[in-house]
Structure 1
Amino acid sequence: MSSEKIIVKKDNRMEFNNHVDYCVGTGRLGLALTEEYLKELEFVQNMIGFSYIRGHGLFSDDVAIYNEYEEDGETKVEYNYTYIDRIFDSFLRLGIRPYLELGFMPGQLASGTQTIFYWKGNTTPPKDYKKWTDMVIALLAHLKKRYGEETVTWPIEVWNEPNLPGFWYKADMQEYFKLFKETFLAIKNYDSRYKVGGPAICGVRDAEWIEAFLEFCKKEGIKPDRITRHHYTVEFPERIGHYDYSKLEDPKMRFENLQSTRDIVDSYDEFRGLPIHLSEFSTSYTPRGVIHDTNLNAAYLAGQLAGLGDVNEAYSYWTFGDVFEEQGVQHSLFHGGFGMVADGNIPKPTFWTFYFYKQLKMFGTDCVYRDDKAVIVKNDSGYAGVLWNIGEDEIIADLDFELPEDGEYTLIKKTVDETCCNPLKLWHDLGEPAYPSKAEKEMIKSAAWPLTTSSVEVSKNGTVDVSFTLKKHGVLYFTLTKRDFTPDRGYDYDKVISFH
């Protein structure tokens, strides 16, 4: 057990950019046609409320936008927006808007047959760049007509992870640069208000790709509206059966990697200060990464969320829910899926990390304390904070708060750890049912909520001392606010609880 003393001064200010609710990831867009997908998204939106949602497969065949046909000996093109309208209508009904990732390639427009994933997204360049850009512009025009001028604010990203040969044929850098240029210029020619980003790379040869991309843009006189990249934080996984086991990387090293991208961008006069979007981030990068279902994942990501805003304007967790099919349909309830919510709207511990940071954002933006174990903000009524413990030992944090006036304050704690909020353990103890019954799901869900406790703290001489205990892999959210005590006539709480 370790103990730490923290003094929280009300006039202190520290940098903390909390963009937790800007965007969230999803499985391929076609999954939004399913009932369970929409139930999970509605739950997440009601509880957290993200502004944008990003996923693959906008132009893949299951969404069926692009279609070629023969007429009078000529190949012609027609577009079908039936499914994408249904998908985007559902998104907007739930208060979330698309972050438009332009990909993958429609089969009839593809230059090759290479595909990726269980659902066979085509990852080859277009056989005709004019037909590709025509399709992109036609979609934007359709969306503007259907949803109005607000669509020009929807972020656009060209492709996904072209630095991996599985996602872009042979990871051909120059071919991707051509795709970006043609797409960027076509969109800007149609309506310059759209914000278009790239190169959407993951961590393989990231510095090389970012530098080459910026050199290309500089040479071509192109200025992307933002730079996009991905951020995952595990070593190469070990596959056992259906599942991937990975070790977490050092958080400091991962933040340094993000800083390196910021430094590269800012080394160019033409691009200095361009926003950087992490259009995907998580711990494990596989949809069978068992760490996703754990309390450790929640605690580690609490530390990530405290610092991702330092050099990134936006970051999008991959993904909101477990309806996901990249490696096929899942084999079990807890299968290491990317989602922060499991089947049946069972919130995983990681869900609460995001919920806590959203609550923190709603409470206040003045950060008065931040380190590698805590972030605390204040408003006129008091303080709110998130604390986390990614270690094996229990931590006791003693905090002295400076308060605007003496008196009574209400302390509320919401705790998520392996003892009080661990649906994975209950599922395991039940025998790991792959296809739990409705009753079993409800039982598992009952173990998926934070422990909420409260107390009245008395401030003396402008301070109050509070202790927080964080168990192994714990995350804790608290508020300490001025108590407004207004009892009804004749009601005596102490007398009520003293009855025998």
Structure 2
Amino acid sequence: MVSKHEIIEYGNEMPLKISIQNIEDMPRHWHSSMEIYLILSGSLTIMFEADTFKLSEDDIILINSNQFHEVKSNNTVAAVLQIKQSFFQKWVDDNTYFECNSVLYNDRSKYLKLKKLIAKFVHASYNVTEHKDLLVIPLAYNILYELIYNFRSFKADTPEKNFKNLKRLKGIIQYLNENYTENLTLETIAKREYLSASYLSHFFEKNMGVSLFNYLTGIRLRHAVSDLLHTDLTIEQIAANNGFSNSRYFVSTFKKEYGLLPKQYKKEQKEAAGSENGSKSLQSSMLFLKQQDFLNKLGEYLDKESQKEFPEAKYPTRLIVQSINTTMKKQFLHHSFKTFTSVGRAKELLYKNVRENLKELQREVGFRYIKFHGILDDSMMLYNEDKDGIPYLVFTYVDEALDFILSVGLKPLIQFSFMPRLLAEDPEKTLFFNPVILSKPKDYKKWVYLITEFTKHLLKRYGAQEVRTWMFSFWNVPFLSYIFSFESNEITYELYRITRNCVKECDPLLSFGNPSYGSLDFCSSEFYDFLDYCKQHDCYPDFYNIHCYPVKTSSIGTFVILGRNNKKDSEKDTIILSDDPDYMAHSIEDFKNRILSYPKLPIYITEWASTSSHCDWLNDTCYRAAYIVKNILENYDAVESFGNWCLTDILEELPMDNEEFHGELGLFTCHGIKKPAYYAFTFLNKLMDILVDRGEGYFVTTNGKGDYVILLYNYHHVSPLYAQGVLFNVTFTERYNAFVNPSSLDIHLTLTHVENADYVITHHQVNRESGSAFDEWVRMGAIPLTTEEEISTLKGRSMPKISKELVTVTNNTMAQFALLHPHEIRLISIKKMEYTPSCYRP
């Protein structure tokens, strides 16, 4: 990076600005503003006129106005605060000098207040969305006050740099930056400035602290490094292009500056980049994306006491008042959210814990279908070959898994995935901790045998009438924009057609859907190119099979699934979440609009969640429950299914975690503890069949017989910083810091045209006080559970709150009031009493 005299622009009322920067090397320069560096990662060397300081993580330094300095960075990330010097003129005179340099003092407590203020300023600047200035401007003034109060000093011998000198230096440096490739001499530059060569040399070195020739060489070297790393130019070409007299002199100068020959330097930089990017395997390059969360360092300065200085979570309270005519029936409800549930892989259906969880879910909710991956995996021991390479199939595990599914009232979506090792062209192309193989088959005839014989077996064992009620599909998001893809989309198209035709030849009435596809690329042509292929080859799917995760692609267009990190309090592997709280509604609308020119088919969302992350701590909290309720209620029956991913934290995609609440996607923890998300579905399941009214935060249903069920929710979207993968002051136990000023929700609903009668009204609540196992575990001390007694106790203490009351309606009007905490869901059941001789009121 070539340095320059910096011009910093400020808002009309803002005396400072802040940014988080990856710091690059900068030769000697200056600016009229003051500048503060707070080092978050790496190390930084700053050289002044006579001093050199090396700063590491947690160090802070202030560079005064018009103070010449040079910067050398070693993978440095810093919070950089730039302060308008003229703003200080109200309180300080021209002799004021600020001495703020943590390298000079052993006592770090001197700088803690300033660091806290900077952390708050960053938090407010990046996170607060409403009335930001009212919070940010006072913090800016507090920072200025702290500098004046604790870091102001006076130096009589502070070097004077008058305006005329600075203007001349600016012109010289600009000329050097624009003409560094030319054969510049001291004489030619001096002549341009109307100075003698000796005076120019003395003038430049006195003011900049480095000779003009060495400064020019530094500019040339930095450009040469860029060419070395990013082009295939020879050493001779690089030297000539950047103003060096010959390649020998360039190499000598380079080695003196960087300690290596240019070719060695280039090799080391490439090796470092390769190891960092993880190019050795599909798993490291495409599955895991680790974003270093440097802002977590700032979050460490925000202790609980300083966090209280932000607006309280209970303020302000939002109010919704609605009068609802109960005779205005809006629609009959099909409850399509109950179409699909899911587990990770077919193999998991053989595990006792998973089976018990699924049985309980079916007793309390009752889904109709189940999705899972990997029925062809080697873990199911289905595909085999004899010593002559002749294939044969063993259905023992497959039958056991399918028999269990049917026994609990479910029907399967048979997704033909993933590739058996003996059939894989490239068995080393794998994904996940417990790997699955993503290769195409090495022998397409054997693939046809596998699919055909599998389908025939299902028809024979379970009967055509039963199997025709099942669903079939090929692979999991095998298109190029996803990590499960083959080498090309053409391979995906062909394998889909072959697989579909095999199934249809066994029984043309079997329902076969497209390979699943995700909403992150509904706007791209990829999926619609697939549908065009289907039209050309007469192999349209029988239903649309899509996913809906509110995540964005990585820089290389790859769908990202998270890895896991054990540093609970400082780092988290991340993906980028959408900042749109209505992502699902907009995705469904967009998809429906884009398929208007294609066959009108049922649309099944077979996977969705608030994130695709296996280690997002919010998965364990009340937020996930509110997210589920909000999105299902606001899109009720908009598609044929909403298949939440997934049932349990027992997944084998990533290493298992000893922490009970490690942020996995399940409704149950590994020990079968129900999370708030589980109760979202039990609440939804109590809704009645006729919709009366709905709006932000509420959904009113009836059975048409005088009974009502109301479901309420208080949803808050994650903060802009958290959506970008930045934890800041979010820690393993303080997870709700992911939200900016979440407010309570005061709902007043008045039901009119209600039959005069006595009613039993029951409230079921899930919030941080009731129904949240994670919050209860924190109250228990946030210490790992080690005994069955502790697990059972937590299960018992994290049930939803239930309260009941008797109400008599005499004027055909019933009022319901509810104050919902942030992320709370509440079910209100209103049941008309039917009196019998044994029924009485106390």
- So what's the TM-score if we normalise by structure 1? 0.91
Counterpart mapping for 1:300-379 below 5 A: 300-360=627-687, 363-364=688-689, 366-379=690-703
Identify which of 370, 389, 411 aligns with 1:97.
411
Contact 1:277 1:312 in 2 (8 A): yes
What is the Cα deviation at residue 18 of structure 1? 2.3
Q: Does 2:382 align with 1:55?
A: no
In 2: Cα distance, 1:235 partner to 1:372 partner: 26
Where is the helix percentage greater, Structure 1 or Structure 2? 2
In 2: Cα distance, 1:249 partner to 1:444 partner: 34
Q: Does 2:614 align with 1:284?
A: no
Equivalent in the alignment of 2:387 = 70
Counterpart secondary structure, 2:606: strand
Equivalent in the alignment of 2:446 = 131
Counterpart mapping for 1:109-148 below 5 A: 109-112=423-426, 113-148=428-463
Contact 1:59 1:106 in 2 (8 A): yes
Counterpart mapping for 1:20-31 below 5 A: 20-31=337-348
Contact 1:67 1:108 in 2 (8 A): yes
What is the Cα deviation at residue 458 of structure 1? 2.1
RMSD of equivalent CA atoms: 2.1
In 2: Cα distance, 1:423 partner to 1:120 partner: 31
Equivalent in the alignment of 2:799 = 449
Equivalent in the alignment of 1:205 = 521
What is the Cα deviation at residue 190 of structure 1? 1.4
Equivalent in the alignment of 2:707 = 382
Contact 1:370 1:376 in 2 (8 A): yes
Larger Rg: 2
Contact 1:125 1:168 in 2 (8 A): no
Equivalent in the alignment of 1:176 = 492
Q: Give, as a single letter, the amino acid of the residue that structure 2 aligns with 1:276.
A: I
Contact 2:327 2:753 in 1 (8 A): no
Contact 1:2 1:395 in 2 (8 A): yes
Identify which of 86, 90, 96 aligns with 2:400.
86
Find runs of 4+ consecutive structure 1 residues off by over 4 angstroms. Answer: 234-240, 243-248
Flag the structure with more relative contact order, 1 or 2, with Cα contacts below 8 A and sequence separation at least 6: 1
What is the Cα deviation at residue 216 of structure 1? 1.0
In 1: Cα distance, 2:411 partner to 2:675 partner: 24
The verdict on how the C-alpha distance between 1:460 and 1:234 changes in structure 2, with shifts beyond 3 A counting, is farther
Equivalent in the alignment of 2:239 = none
Contact 2:660 2:784 in 1 (8 A): yes
What is the Cα deviation at residue 448 of structure 1? 2.3
What is the Cα deviation at residue 435 of structure 1? 4.6
Q: Give, as a single letter, the amino acid of the residue that structure 2 aligns with 1:397.
A: I
Counterpart secondary structure, 1:367: strand
Contact 1:295 1:473 in 2 (8 A): yes
The one-character-per-residue Cα deviations of 1:81-115 (angstroms, maximum 9, x if unpaired) are 01111111222222222111110011111121211
Counterpart secondary structure, 1:441: helix
Percent of residue pairs identical: 24
Q: Does 2:261 align with 1:261?
A: no
In 1: Cα distance, 2:474 partner to 2:634 partner: 26
What is the Cα deviation at residue 244 of structure 1? 4.5
In 1: Cα distance, 2:446 partner to 2:542 partner: 24
What is the Cα deviation at residue 280 of structure 1? 0.6
In 2: Cα distance, 1:30 partner to 1:408 partner: 52
Contact 1:54 1:99 in 2 (8 A): yes
The one-character-per-residue Cα deviations of 1:257-315 (angstroms, maximum 9, x if unpaired) are 221111121223xx1x2111111111110222222111011001111111344542112
Q: Give, as a single letter, the amino acid of the residue that structure 1 aligns with 2:513.
A: G
The verdict on how the C-alpha distance between 1:492 and 1:181 changes in structure 2, with shifts beyond 3 A counting, is closer
The one-character-per-residue Cα deviations of 1:28-79 (angstroms, maximum 9, x if unpaired) are 11122222111211221121121111111110101011111223xxx20100
Equivalent in the alignment of 1:10 = 326
* Residue-pair matches, total: 482
Contact 2:706 2:755 in 1 (8 A): no
In 2: Cα distance, 1:479 partner to 1:232 partner: 32
Equivalent in the alignment of 2:733 = none
Contact 1:245 1:291 in 2 (8 A): no
Counterpart secondary structure, 1:316: strand
Q: Does 2:569 align with 1:252?
A: no
In 1: Cα distance, 2:520 partner to 2:377 partner: 25
Counterpart secondary structure, 2:422: coil
What is the Cα deviation at residue 12 of structure 1? 2.1
In 2: Cα distance, 1:436 partner to 1:371 partner: 44
Equivalent in the alignment of 2:71 = none
What is the Cα deviation at residue 340 of structure 1? 0.7
Q: Give, as a single letter, the amino acid of the residue that structure 2 aligns with 1:466.
A: Q
In 1: Cα distance, 2:501 partner to 2:562 partner: 43
The one-character-per-residue Cα deviations of 1:446-486 (angstroms, maximum 9, x if unpaired) are 23211111112222332211112211110011111211244
Identify which of 494, 506, 512 aligns with 1:196.
512
Q: Give, as a single letter, the amino acid of the residue that structure 1 aligns with 2:663.
A: G
In 2: Cα distance, 1:91 partner to 1:411 partner: 36
The verdict on how the C-alpha distance between 1:308 and 1:427 changes in structure 2, with shifts beyond 3 A counting, is same
In 2: Cα distance, 1:185 partner to 1:92 partner: 26
The verdict on how the C-alpha distance between 1:239 and 1:92 changes in structure 2, with shifts beyond 3 A counting, is closer
In 2: Cα distance, 1:492 partner to 1:46 partner: 32
What is the Cα deviation at residue 2 of structure 1? 2.2
The verdict on how the C-alpha distance between 1:18 and 1:488 changes in structure 2, with shifts beyond 3 A counting, is closer
The one-character-per-residue Cα deviations of 1:209-264 (angstroms, maximum 9, x if unpaired) are 22112111111122210111111124679977245466564232431122111112
Identify which of 828, 832, 837 aligns with 1:478.
828
What is the Cα deviation at residue 10 of structure 1? 1.9
The verdict on how the C-alpha distance between 1:180 and 1:224 changes in structure 2, with shifts beyond 3 A counting, is same
The verdict on how the C-alpha distance between 1:426 and 1:234 changes in structure 2, with shifts beyond 3 A counting, is farther
What is the Cα deviation at residue 128 of structure 1? 2.2
Contact 1:402 1:462 in 2 (8 A): yes
In 1: Cα distance, 2:647 partner to 2:632 partner: 15
- The answer for unaligned runs of 5 or more in structure 1 is 494-500
- So what's the TM-score if we normalise by structure 2? 0.55
Counterpart secondary structure, 1:126: coil
Counterpart secondary structure, 2:639: coil
In 2: Cα distance, 1:59 partner to 1:419 partner: 44
Contact 1:423 1:444 in 2 (8 A): yes
